[in-house]
Amino acid sequence: MSERERRRLEKIEGFMMPGFRGRYYMWPEEYWLLSKYLDMTHGDYLEIGSMCGIIAMSFAEKYPRRQFVCVDMFSEGHATIAGHRETFLQNLREHNLENVTLVEGDSLEVVPKLSQRFEIAFVDANHAYDYVFGDANNAWRLLLPEGFIAFHDYRYVDETTRAVDEFLKQTGGQFLESTTSLAVVQKQAAPIRAGLHDYMQNRYDDLSAENAKLQADIDWLLKAHEEKSTQLAAVLDSAGWRMLNKWRRLRNWVAPENSWNRRLYDSILRTLRGSH
């Protein structure tokens, strides 16, 4: 028997955690790796497959301001023992954890109904291919860009391994690291970049529309200026305007500006206007 197989048999008995009832089935180094990503994030946590709730609740005690959603149907599945609903609820009551929510039911049915967004998700429910692949995709939809998703029993349960590998191919998630049978994948920030691209495209369209309106205003002003220029040219070219210009030149010659004759002329002109 290989060392890996021997260690997997040893873990069948599970581990105790001080202060909690029941057992959890995760190697210490796996728990530490998951804890590392809880410490790195600030958002909410989704756990698909909680059993007694020990893992999620231990994190919930450490981060009372974050929300922890646990999904479990408390029944046996492929390479998965049944959870303990009463033990879960008892742990919840005894630790008075108001930031932990239990969503009871088949994960493939209840997770798609969630609308909450999460920064980290842990998939450890039924280890059959369809369940792991479905749980991964459903959690992925709820995961924030640059968030993390962890898989348990990767490279130890064949169907889990196959499902995770296919999931990585289809989503383009970035495999970060693993220890024993816990693997961590990060969701890339492509949605953010796509959102920025959409924003920039919309802004470009808005500016294009504004430029088009500004160009239309400029064209109207140029046309109006051209029409006024044409009208002015017609007036300047008229016989009446030419006669008026001759009269002004004669007046300026006979009565220059600021002269006595000009003041007399202006006085007579005001008197004539006043009589009318």
Model confidence over 169-220: pLDDT tens digits? Answer: 999 999 999 999 999 999 987 544 555 666 666 666 667 777 777 787 777 7
DSSP string of 1-18, one letter each residue: --HHHHHHHHGGG-B--T
Note the pLDDT tens digit of each residue in 19-57: 999 999 899 999 999 999 999 999 999 999 999 999 999
Note the pLDDT tens digit of each residue in 68-81: 999 999 998 898 88
Q: Please report the pLDDT score of residue 3 as a whole number.
A: 45
Q: Please report the pLDDT score of residue 125 as a whole number.
A: 96
Q: Please report the pLDDT score of residue 94 as a whole number.
A: 97
The pTM for the full model equals: 0.67
In the predicted model, is pLDDT for residue 7 greater than 60? no
Mean pLDDT of the chain: 85
Q: Please report the pLDDT score of residue 5 as a whole number.
A: 44
Q: Please report the pLDDT score of residue 234 as a whole number.
A: 65
Q: Please report the pLDDT score of residue 253 as a whole number.
A: 72
Measured on CA atoms in the order 233, 234, 238, 240, is the torsion positive or negative?
Answer: negative
Query: 158 or 228: which carries more pLDDT confidence?
Result: 158
Split at pLDDT 50, 70, 90, the class of 273 is: low
Q: Please report the pLDDT score of residue 217 as a whole number.
A: 75
The mean-pLDDT minimum among 10-14, 74-78, 91-95, 211-215 falls in 10-14
Q: What separation, in Å, do the N-terminal and C-terminal C-alpha atoms of the chain show? A: 126
